[in-house]
Amino acid sequence: MSTDLATRPRLQAPLSSLAAWVAYFRDAPIPVLGSTASSLAELAANEDAVDAHLLAESIGTDPMMTLRLLAHVGMNSRRETDVETVIGALVLMGVGPFFRHFGELSTIEATLADEPAALEGARGVLARAHRAARFALGFAAHRLDPDAAVIHEAALLHDFAELLLWCHAPRLALEIAQRQQADPSLRSTSAQRAVLGITLADLQQQLMKAWRLPELLIRLDSDKHAEQSQVRNVLLAVRVARHTAQGWDNAALPDDVADIGALLQLSPATVLKLLHEIDA
């Protein structure tokens, strides 16, 4: 994947097919949070004192840096078993090689400095991703799930294709958002098909496979496996984060609470208490 965003023109019109979208984004730069770039630069200045756990603290809350790392390891590792977490990827890669490969990082903030509305849109997705990851981890901890770290990661990455769209095709991302604002009943997938000719969920699944991301992450990202408790854990966390992004009075919330209650075997009142505790 290239790291030079400055020389890459933005997409102004939809591409011809899902395959064309996958080909475009497979090799596209993945900008990271400015705070992540700053933190990693500080750590690089004292590389000898840095270990994988310290690095993971700077990376693990940034969906885009997490994605960059896992995609790099996935495409370059010859291991037969998947490396499913940031810490596992860092241990495999090594601290020195990490800093050498990720020495210069483009940022979301710099990428969208001339598109303030798109930057606001991207920040909204990031805020939702952080909340979804916290909810997912809270649900997984309640279920005593041994894959809690991967479930947290899956929720954090759940909307990475939308983030990539904001960064590389801000006008198209804005058009989708404007259509949904004009018609609150318009489903995201319908708006995406109308503007892009594809759904972001389909694009995301194909990118995860192209980058050889861990099979568990790919499965956790797909609603085709929604009957599995780990997948429900992720999807319900994403749902409640989306539905409460503007407050706790969303009409869909009672259904979310009921479904979370079924997953965790808790009453609606206890679920609501748990959600507020996680979100505090």
68-79 per-position pLDDT tens digit: 999 999 988 776
Residue type at 205?
Q
What domains, with CATH codes, occur in the chain?
A: 32-105 (no CATH), 115-279 (1.10.3210.10)
Mean pLDDT, the chain, as a whole number?
93
Banded pLDDT at 81 (limits 50, 70, 90): low
> What would the pLDDT profile of 41-61 be if each residue is shown by its tens digit?
999 999 999 999 999 999 999
Phi, psi of 85 (to 5 degrees): -130, 165
Distance CA 50, CA 95 (A): 7
pLDDT at 223 (0 to 100):
78
What pLDDT was estimated at residue 2?
A: 43
Within 8 A by CB and 6+ apart from 67, the residues are 30, 157, 160
Q: What is the pLDDT of residue 104?
A: 86
The answer for residues whose C-beta is within 8 angstroms of residue 191's C-beta and 6 or more apart is 176, 179, 180
